[in-house]
Structure 1
Amino acid sequence: MQLQATNSPFDQEQAELLNKLIPTLTEAQKLWLSGYLAASQSLAAPRGPAAVVKHGSILPVSKEVTILYGSQTGNAQGIADNSSKALKEKGYEVTVSSMSDFKPNQLKKLKNLLIIVSTHGEGDPPDNAISFHEFVHGKRAPKLEDLRFSVLSLGDSSYEFFCQTGKDFDKVLEELGGKRLTPRVDCDLDYDEPAAEWLSKVILGLNEAQGETASEAFQEASATLAEEATYSRTNPFHAEVLENINLNGRGSNKETRHLELSLEGSNLSFEPGDSLGIYPENDPELVDLLLEELHWNPEEIVTVNKQGDVAALKQALIANFEITVLTKPLLQQAAQLTENERLHELMSAGHESELKSYLSGRDLLDLVHDFGPWAVSPQDFVNILRKMPARLYSIASSLNANPDEVHLTIGALRYESFGRSRSGVCSILCAERLEPGHTLPVYIQHNQNFKLPANGETPIIMVGPGTGVAPFRAFMQEREETGALGKSWMFFGEQHFVTDFLYQTEWQKWLENGVLTKMDVAFSRDTEEKVYVQHRLLEHSKELFHWLEEGAVLYICGDEKNMAHDVHQTLIGIIENEGSMTHEQAEEYVARMQKEKRYQRDVY
């Protein structure tokens, strides 16, 4: 909207000057300017306690801040913990809690609430946010006229329901009467800078009376949100490959790599249940095809980040940018770089289903081939690409059992799509181009939502078909090292016993020495009728329910859409039948297990 003397407090000359200036400002400059003006106003005002005006009267602003996080892999929890540190340094009294640990009846007492939440699956809340999400959307949710709130959502723009859980919370808190401290921020996979900007705006919103500028807040937020460890997500450690072994036997339809990496000199530490983040490289052959399609010089220098670092175009496409996944935001930006009518039509209203279909199973090479010509510079083109995201893998070893090492179990992904062979970026790097002596940029992703019980006598039940076996290998190594006495039961599944029984000799050793109490396996292609892990659970339903009644913790790791969903439904059925409960009572039983951290999932 253009400023006019008639629609603003400025005279015509001031309005014209502002209309020329505002469109030229970057987001960072606008943020700084807003902080500067707030500072100027507060410096001119009488000093005193921070206050807000409500219904004509002045009320003191509460210094109490509650941060609630919903996190599946640990990112949201990490941001929550670091945001707490930043706010405490500003003199705020901060409470940080998982949504599952928060008592919903306390919600109406809060004055300042920060929500930091990821989105899981097809727009679903992460496991530890489910109960709170249901509460605020239910009939028992209180009116929140005295609440000030802000939401930071984490997501992946390649998914249809990008940041949906954060959007849900933002909408419902407003509907319940809450007022936004600052607008919701939706973060893609590269969340560091937007998270720091969000926190700086939150601090300004909470602390306007101090007159802090936006630029100061942003710098402090960025520093606080940075990991304390020397090596981190933003500064990965280059780990040397010690071993790279194919776990599958000759003739298998699968290729599963066992990787052993050295962490010597990194000071990195982890617990069973944590993940390792790897920054992979794209297949150079795919990059060559892309450059050939675009007729670009592979040696042309391009800027690869906001810090101004540069690289040759080919190397930049190999190491710095994602080229194997298409997202709606990418196509929206690409449409600005071509006059291709088909792309513009695809992005127009009413073509949502066609767009969704096009995004599935295609990559950047398809995009440039289908919608040229591209009369733009390589720099303009790479500017629209997402940074290469890290791939997270469940750690398959115990640090106590293997000091200065981390082990991974990675399934090689190869498939055909739209007439071309495709492959997983990281898994095929590990399967085909990674040798002992090479290095990988890595960091530790801590995950407090998937942990062994503190009491070693607590029974555990582990369900991990395929590469989902990885964290349970770490669990067993840890229990062996610590001498834990609790019972343990493993359910493993794959295609064939002879070629696909991952870590078979290790499981047999743990069964023999008593570290593992029971093991049930399902090899789906060895029988006429396919048998999966959920069928084995059902076969042992009475004993399984008895373990649960004894207080066992149940863990699931692996594919979410099929395996984890089927296991979840089977679990509810077992509890319903063996516990003589209604379906609703069985669902409540499982929900209670989740709340008590006796039902934990690491699913993807």
Structure 2
Amino acid sequence: MSGVLAGISDARLYSACVVVLLYLTTCAYFLWPRRGPAIVSSGGDRAGAPTLIAFASQTGFAADLANRTAQSLQAAGAPVLLASLQNIDEQILRQVNSALFVVSTTGEGDAPDPAAGFVRNILDRSIPLKEMSYGVLALGDREYDNYCAFGHRLDQWLRHQGATALFDVIEVDNGDEGALRHWQHQLSVLSNSPDLPDWEAPRYERWRLTARRHVNPGSAGDACFHIELQPPAGASARWQAGDIAEIDPRNSTWDAKPEPLPHREYSIASLPADGAIHLLVRQMRRPDGEPGLGSGWLTAGAKVGDDIAVRVRSNPNFHAPESNVPLILIGNGTGIAGLRSLIKARIARGRHRNWLIFGERSVAHDCFYGDELDRWRAQGQVERIDLVFSRDQPERRYVQHRVRECADDLRRWVDEGAAIYVCGSLLGMAPAVDAALSEVLGVDTLEQLAIAGRYRRDVY
């Protein structure tokens, strides 16, 4: 045993000990009698304020997921505070800049029993939380009418206090593995740690890489590639616009490695009628200059004709509206992929009241799917397209600037029943667009659109 320990670096040993300590402390929190506030604090390698991870659990599942969330962030070096909602008060909320909530719904849309005090003392009050950014993982069962109701109530209250949602509520139906992997993906983005291991290894299928095209040669940004993946022979591949392709980098599960690599998520840019999954993948670079694990595999490591481990994850929160309402689509960068599939779905159903606001660096190099967009506009299948290129003039211009400039038209479209879908970067574009929409439409209106399902985001 001493020989094994000698082979582990001090940093790794320290990290492992803290994770174990966090786990044991959390177990003690659940199993031992206690009085007063009980909050588990765990430091990390990185400086900065800790992320609050708060849970409301009826059966213990939400508590377990909150503990896993804490372990993942701590493994990435981020400090965390782990606590039950019953021990969260106004003072704690006011001091937190970043929070993640893992909450169950019980009965007819109620909060779990331990959170009754939080509901009574906090949710019925107004507490300014403009400094807080947050995410919500809502657990529920679709067989009940008020599915994930408490998670959505908490989200709405936080929005109303001025807190900024990092991403839309992630709903988990009876422990759905795909939804939980999506939560883990968001944790990797928030912690800037793309190599966080999956909690459970997904089951993949063998798809074939049939096409790869560099679409932005000469760009000031990293190289982007259009990727096409064909399903296994005889397979009935099904997905909807808005769904996600999960990729296993280098097919680690087939190579029988002891620990599967963390999956990567990409918005699907095509429909089943296209015969293949289309992706738009930016070749990310690590600090040492090496290609990212997933993007490097898809854009350079794998060869055309190779098998790729793929799993399609349903993303119902970003499916196209069922009714024939106007649709405003806003995005940047590779976010055009998810918006492209939505536009294709709308066109296939004869719904042409579509307005795209899209931003990138340069029109000469980064106008992704430009010929296709021109054709759709010329044929009247997309009513309006506003393109913003940040580097094509001395001052930097982004999609949020165009949103403000189009204020009158945006208000008119919303008054006519339009839904707003946003796809792109989580830490740059999404909050800036959210702020611009709040200014243009009003905070209360944007909140009501979110509650009604008319404001949806797929950000990463």
Mark yes or no: TM-score above 0.5. Answer: yes
Are 1:569 and 2:440 matched, yes or no?
Answer: no
* Shift of residue 251, structure 1, vs aligned partner: 5.3
The one-letter code matched in structure 1 to 2:380 is G
Shift of the 159–506 alpha-carbon distance from structure 1 to 2, 3 Å rule, reads closer
Residue 448 (structure 1) aligns with: 316
* Residue among 124, 134, 137 paired with 2:135: 124
Shift of the 471–552 alpha-carbon distance from structure 1 to 2, 3 Å rule, reads same
Cα pair 2:320 2:345 within 8 Å, conserved: no
* Shift of residue 158, structure 1, vs aligned partner: 5.5
SS of corresponding position for 1:498? coil
Residue 246 (structure 2) aligns with: 277
Cα pair 1:240 1:438 within 8 Å, conserved: yes
Q: Tell me how far apart the structure 2 counterparts of residues 160 and 524 of structure 1 sit (CA, whole Å).
A: 25
SS of corresponding position for 2:364? helix
* Shift of residue 506, structure 1, vs aligned partner: 0.3
Structure with the bigger RCO (C-alpha within 8 Å, sep 6+) is 1
Residue 167 (structure 1) aligns with: none
The one-letter code matched in structure 1 to 2:110 is L
* Residue among 189, 199, 202 paired with 1:191: 199
Q: Tell me how far apart the structure 1 counterparts of residues 319 and 281 of structure 2 sit (CA, whole Å).
A: 21
The alignment-based identity, stated in percent, is: 25
Cα pair 1:244 1:435 within 8 Å, conserved: no
Residue 381 (structure 2) aligns with: 515
1:255-404 alignment to 2 at 5 Å? 255-263=223-231, 264-281=233-250, 316=257, 321=259, 387-400=260-273, 402-403=274-275
SS of corresponding position for 1:240? strand
Q: Tell me how far apart the structure 2 counterparts of residues 475 and 548 of structure 1 sit (CA, whole Å).
A: 18
Q: Tell me how far apart the structure 1 counterparts of residues 154 and 455 of structure 2 sit (CA, whole Å).
A: 17
Cα pair 1:251 1:499 within 8 Å, conserved: yes
Residue 558 (structure 1) aligns with: 424
Q: Structure 2: which 5+ runs fail to align?
A: 1-57, 66-101, 117-131, 139-147, 162-173
Residue 414 (structure 1) aligns with: 285
Q: Tell me how far apart the structure 2 counterparts of residues 135 and 599 of structure 1 sit (CA, whole Å).
A: 16
Shift of the 137–570 alpha-carbon distance from structure 1 to 2, 3 Å rule, reads closer
Shift of the 449–125 alpha-carbon distance from structure 1 to 2, 3 Å rule, reads same
Q: Tell me how far apart the structure 2 counterparts of residues 397 and 538 of structure 1 sit (CA, whole Å).
A: 30
Cα pair 1:240 1:440 within 8 Å, conserved: yes
Shift of the 407–106 alpha-carbon distance from structure 1 to 2, 3 Å rule, reads closer
Residue 51 (structure 2) aligns with: none
* Shift of residue 137, structure 1, vs aligned partner: 12
Residue 348 (structure 2) aligns with: 481
Residue 78 (structure 1) aligns with: none
SS of corresponding position for 1:505? helix
RMSD: 4.2
Q: Tell me how far apart the structure 2 counterparts of residues 161 and 430 of structure 1 sit (CA, whole Å).
A: 23
* Shift of residue 159, structure 1, vs aligned partner: 7.4
Q: Tell me how far apart the structure 2 counterparts of residues 461 and 495 of structure 1 sit (CA, whole Å).
A: 21
The one-letter code matched in structure 2 to 1:247 is V
* Shift of residue 443, structure 1, vs aligned partner: 0.5
Residue 23 (structure 1) aligns with: none
Q: Tell me how far apart the structure 1 counterparts of residues 446 and 453 of structure 2 sit (CA, whole Å).
A: 10
* Shift of residue 473, structure 1, vs aligned partner: 1.1
Q: Tell me how far apart the structure 1 counterparts of residues 366 and 214 of structure 2 sit (CA, whole Å).
A: 11
* Residue among 296, 302, 323 paired with 1:428: 296
Shift of the 537–433 alpha-carbon distance from structure 1 to 2, 3 Å rule, reads same
Which digits, 9 at most, give the CA deviation of each residue in 1:217-251, with x for residues without a partner?
xxxxxxxxxxxxxxxx7331111111100111345
* Shift of residue 587, structure 1, vs aligned partner: 2.0
Which digits, 9 at most, give the CA deviation of each residue in 1:51-101, with x for residues without a partner?
xxxxxxxxxxxxx99x99xx9xxxxxxxxxxxxxxxxxxxxxxxxxxx99x
Shift of the 103–132 alpha-carbon distance from structure 1 to 2, 3 Å rule, reads farther
Shift of the 103–518 alpha-carbon distance from structure 1 to 2, 3 Å rule, reads farther
* Shift of residue 106, structure 1, vs aligned partner: 4.6
Q: What is the TM-score of this pair, normalised by structure 1?
A: 0.47
* Residue among 449, 454, 458 paired with 1:598: 454
Aligned residues: 319
The one-letter code matched in structure 2 to 1:406 is I
1:163-242 alignment to 2 at 5 Å? 190-192=198-200, 234-242=202-210
* Residue among 93, 107, 115 paired with 2:110: 107
* Shift of residue 133, structure 1, vs aligned partner: 4.6
* Shift of residue 104, structure 1, vs aligned partner: 11
Q: Structure 1: which 5+ runs fail to align?
A: 1-63, 72-98, 114-120, 140-149, 163-187, 193-232, 283-303, 322-386, 576-585
Q: What is the TM-score of this pair, normalised by structure 2?
A: 0.60
Cα pair 1:104 1:132 within 8 Å, conserved: no
* Shift of residue 110, structure 1, vs aligned partner: 8.4
Q: Tell me how far apart the structure 1 counterparts of residues 242 and 351 of structure 2 sit (CA, whole Å).
A: 16
Q: Tell me how far apart the structure 1 counterparts of residues 366 and 191 of structure 2 sit (CA, whole Å).
A: 35
Cα pair 2:160 2:447 within 8 Å, conserved: no
* Shift of residue 265, structure 1, vs aligned partner: 2.4
Residue 437 (structure 1) aligns with: 305
Cα pair 1:558 1:602 within 8 Å, conserved: yes
* Shift of residue 281, structure 1, vs aligned partner: 2.4
Cα pair 2:237 2:272 within 8 Å, conserved: no
Residue 214 (structure 2) aligns with: 246
Shift of the 108–126 alpha-carbon distance from structure 1 to 2, 3 Å rule, reads closer
Cα pair 1:247 1:257 within 8 Å, conserved: yes
Q: Tell me how far apart the structure 1 counterparts of residues 188 and 271 of structure 2 sit (CA, whole Å).
A: 33
